[in-house]
Amino acid sequence: MGTVTDITRELHGYYFEDLEEGMSDIYGKTISDADIILFSGISGDINPVHLNHEFAFETMFEGCIAHGMLTASLISTVIGTKLPGAGCIYVNQNLAFKAPVKSGDTVTARVTVEKLIPKKKFVELKTVCTVKDKVVIDGSATVMVPSRS
C-alpha cells in the first residue's frame, strides 16, 4: 500500500508545466429526468419549467428543460477531473446559454487550453457544451493550476 504522498501524486491532475495551448478534453453525459429532479433538490431551483410538464409545455420550450447550471456543471467535471484535473481551482467562469437541454439529450462538455499565464499559474480555457453538433453553452474559464516547484 502506498503512502499518502504516493496516493496524492496519483490523484493529481496536470501541473502548470505540463499544459500546452490547444490541449483539450471532454466529458459526455445523457441527461435524465432523475438528474433534473436531483439537481432541483440540491440547488433548490424548483422552477416549474424544469419539473412540471403541463407548465413547461406552455412555454417556448414546449416541454421541461434541464437547468442551465446542471448542464454547465459538466464543464466543471472536465476541469476538475480531466483537464487540468484534480488540484486546480476555479477563478472565473463565463457562460452564454445558447439552447435548451432536455431529458434524453447527451451533452458533451469540451474544455480547451487557450492561454497560459506563467506569472500567476493561471490557465484560460475555452468551455463549450454541445448536444450533437449544436452549441448549448459557450463560455470561458480561468483556473489556477499548481506548479511542480
**pLDDT tens digit string along 33-92?**
999 999 999 999 999 999 999 999 999 999 999 999 999 999 999 999 999 999 999 999
Specify whether domain 4-33+68-144 bears CATH 3.30.70.3450: no
Question: What are the b/e assignments for 100-121, b being 16+ CB within 10 Å?
Answer: bbbbebebbbbbbbbeeeeeeb
Q: Tell which residue, 18, 30, 134, 1, has the closest CA to residue 86.
A: 18
| pLDDT tens digits along 119-131 | 999 999 999 999 9
**pLDDT score at 5:** 67
**Does 32 have pLDDT greater than 70?**
yes
User: Cell 441527461, residue?
Assistant: 31
Pairing relation of β-strands 89-97 and 122-131?
unpaired
Q: How confident is the model at residue 11 (pLDDT cuts 50, 70, 90)?
A: confident
Query: What pTM was estimated for this model as a whole?
Result: 0.93
